[in-house]
Chain A
Amino acid sequence: MKTSLSRKYWMAVSGLFLIIFLTQHFTINFLSVISEESFNSVSHFMGTNPIVQFLLQPVLLIGVVFHFIAGFMLEIKNRQSRPVKYAAYSPAANSTWMSRNMIVTGIMILLFLGLHFYDFWIPEMNVKYIQADMSGLNENGEFRYYDELVHKFTDPIRVIIYCLSFVFLSLHLMHGFQSAFQSLGARHPKYTPGIKKLGAAFAVLIPLGFIVIALFHYLSSH
């Protein structure tokens, strides 16, 4: 993290890793729309498999922490490099809002992550590792995962916050996806247009998918 470029590499690598994670998270969540049973069994597998729990989960946490620490470090350095601001500055003439406001969309996603941990991750850690209940069953002897998910999405305020957060995620990905490739030097006239299109499609479809899941459970529970 010593040079400007190495900070950018870490930002890009952790970002691409989080993109892969997001795809996996979305796939599993989407199962909840298709089949309660398969969502429950996949959730149970992810929640109890030792490789997922003790290898992938820590790697994911390190990836998230790395990504936002590198982001804050870059932002602080960047702000210091222009101590006197312009009186007139028109950045919209030459760059997109998304590319200039990664710190804003990033902080919004980080806030959402706080809520998400409060909603799911902390209770999950509590049940599994403090109360030591690895069964994944509720008091009726059924898998609890699907019911817990649906329960969260019965609250309209939560659904609105979730949906809004995914709009910020979409804006973040809109720039971040293709930017990660550029930072790593992966740019070529043959592939870059495709990477940009793929990035835009990913940035729309994945957050939209998460929004659909939230709305689906909200609407079907009312």
Chain B
Amino acid sequence: MNLTLKVWRQKNAKSEGKLVTYQVSDISPDMSFLEMFDVLNEQLISKGEDPIAFDHDCREGICGMCSMFINGRAHGPLTGVTTCQLHMRSFKDGDTIVVEPWRAKAFPVIKDLVVDRSAFDRIIAKGGFISVNTGSARDANNIPIPKQNADEAFEAAACIGCGACVATCKNSSAMLFVSAKISQLALLPQGQPERYQRVLNMVEQMDKEGFGNCSNTGACEVECPKGISLENIARMNRDFLKASLIQKPKKETGGGAM
């Protein structure tokens, strides 16, 4: 396959970027999108040019690092996949492909297609601890958990924090991500002691990072490589509403964490 690529090039966080056009030829349709980029980078290196910086790690669709916005969609034209699981057979010979970094105020570009997603880490850190015993492993059925809750918690925990929800959302809203992280603990008994404080803290941090609001367009759910459901956003909305209503003023009593 022969393709024309228009790739966002930006030297560093401070400089202005622009789309640069590259030609790639003899691309196998069985290559992944990232492998096609490897070929392009080899070309650039052999010509003595600066290769295109892009995030990637496992290349198995489970780490969430690869973050390209391809032809106007997060992770390209397929739904439910990361960029590393997108193959060149999804494109036609002679196509022009536009590749941009995730665009959000909270995800500043570091270089080329690499963005800083540490806002997500700060939101998770703000969620704080959960009160569980550490030490030797407990009996599996020590704490009874309904199968359905366990399954829903597992589905929420499948979020790999790739940021496709933010990238695709017209408002750059992080609510699908945050709600998945809130849900995975809110659905389990171990998450209950800090449940309502956690949702308040995480939403506060989400707002502080500069993510937008949710317009319920559902775009995030469609583009999420892990199929995280809008059900989680509804759960976060319920929990936050309840938390705001029952929140008590903080008292300094000494002893205990929080």
Partner-B contacts on A (CB < 8 A): 3-9, 74, 77-78, 80-91, 93-96, 99-100, 102, 175, 178-179, 182-187
- Cβ of B104 < 8 Å from any Cβ of A? yes
Residues of A contacting B19 with CB < 8 Å?
87
* Interface residues as binary, B232-249 with A (CB distance below 8 Å gives 1, 0 otherwise): 011111111100100000
| Interface membership of B103, Cβ < 8 A | yes
A81 touches B223 (CB 8 A): no
**B170 with A78: CB separation less than 8 A:** yes
Closest approach, in angstroms, between the C-beta of A91 and any C-beta of chain B? 6
- From residue 87 to 106 of chain B, which have CB atoms closer than 8 A to chain A? 98, 100, 103-106
**B105 in contact with A80 (CB, 8 Å):** yes
Q: Is B230 an interface position by the 8 A CB rule?
A: yes
Residues A185 and B234 in contact, CB atoms below 8 Å apart: yes
Can you report 10 A-B residue pairs in the complex whose CB atoms are below 8 A from each other? A5-B236, A74-B213, A77-B213, A81-B171, A86-B100, A94-B217, A99-B215, A182-B230, A183-B214, A185-B238
Check A3–B207 contact: CB distance below 8 A: yes
A95 touches B218 (CB 8 A): yes
- Cβ 8 A contact of A4, one of B77, B79, B203, B217: B203
Specify which chain B residues have a CB less than 8 angstroms from the CB of A6 in the assembled complex: 244
Give the chain A neighbours of B73 by CB distance below 8 A: 90, 93-94
With beta carbons under 8 angstroms apart, the residue of B100, B106, B240 that contacts A81 is B106
Q: Does B82 contact A (CB under 8 A)?
A: no
**Of residues A5, A78, A83, A96, which shows the largest number of chain B Cβ atoms within 10 Å of its Cβ?**
A5
- Which B residues between 131 and 176 are near A, CB-CB below 8 angstroms? 168, 170-173, 175
**Known A90-B71, A90-B73; contact A82-B168, beta-carbon cutoff 8 A:** no
Contact status B215-A81, CB under 8 Å: no
Q: Hey, which bits of chain B sit against chain A, CB under 8 A?
A: 6, 8, 19, 69, 71-73, 77, 79, 98, 100, 103-106, 168, 170-173, 175, 203-204, 206-207, 210-219, 222-223, 230-231, 233-241, 244
Contacts of A80 in B (CB 8 A): 105, 210, 212
A86 to B100, CA, bound (A): 7
Using Cβ atoms and an 8 Å threshold, which residues of chain B touch A74? 213, 215
Q: Closest residue to A189 on the B side, CB-wise?
A: B231
Give the number of A-B contacts (CB < 8 Å): 133
B110–chain A nearest beta-carbon distance, Å: 14
Which residue, A74, A93, A94, A183, has most C-beta atoms of chain B within 10 A?
A94
Known contacts A6-B244, A86-B69, A87-B19, A182 near B207 by CB under 8 Å? no
Q: A9-B241, A88-B100, A94-B219 are in contact. Are A81 and B211 (CB under 8 A)?
A: yes
The residue of chain A having its C-beta at the shortest distance from the C-beta of B220 within the complex is A94
A7 touches B216 (CB 8 A): no
Q: Among the listed B103, B168, B206, B214, which residue makes an inter-chain contact with A84, where contact means beta carbons less than 8 Å apart?
A: B103
Given A82-B105, A86-B72, A90-B71, check contact A185 B213 (CB 8 Å). no
A195 to chain B: closest CB distance in Å? 12
A85-B103, A94-B168, A187-B230 known; A78-B241 Cβ under 8 A: no
> B206 → chain A, closest Cβ, in Å?
7
In the bound assembly, the distance between CA atoms of A84 and B231 in angstroms comes to 30
Residues of B within 8 A of A179 (CB): 215-216
Contact of B213 among A8, A82, A91 (CB under 8 A): A8
Check B207–A4 contact: CB distance below 8 A: yes
Nearest chain A CB to B33's CB is how many angstroms away? 15
Set B72, B106, B213, B223: member contacting A78, Cβ < 8 A? B213
Q: Which residues of A contact B239 (CB under 8 A)?
A: 185
Q: Which residues of B contact A86 (CB under 8 A)?
A: 69, 72, 100, 103
Return chain B residues, CB-CB under 8 Å to A81.
Answer: 104-106, 171-173, 210-212
Output the least CB separation between A141 and chain B (Å): 53
Not counting A4-B212, A183-B216, A185-B237, a sample of 16 additional A-B residue pairs whose C-beta atoms are within 8 angstroms of each other reads: A4-B173, A4-B214, A78-B213, A81-B171, A82-B212, A85-B103, A86-B103, A87-B6, A87-B100, A88-B98, A91-B170, A94-B168, A94-B218, A95-B218, A179-B216, A185-B239
Distance between A31 CB and nearest chain B CB, rounded to angstroms: 35
Closest to B239 in A: A185
* Residues in chain B near residue A5, CB distance under 8 A: 203, 236-237, 240-241
Give the docked Cα–Cα distance between A83 and B222 (Å).
24
Is the CB–CB distance between B222 and A82 below 8 Å? no
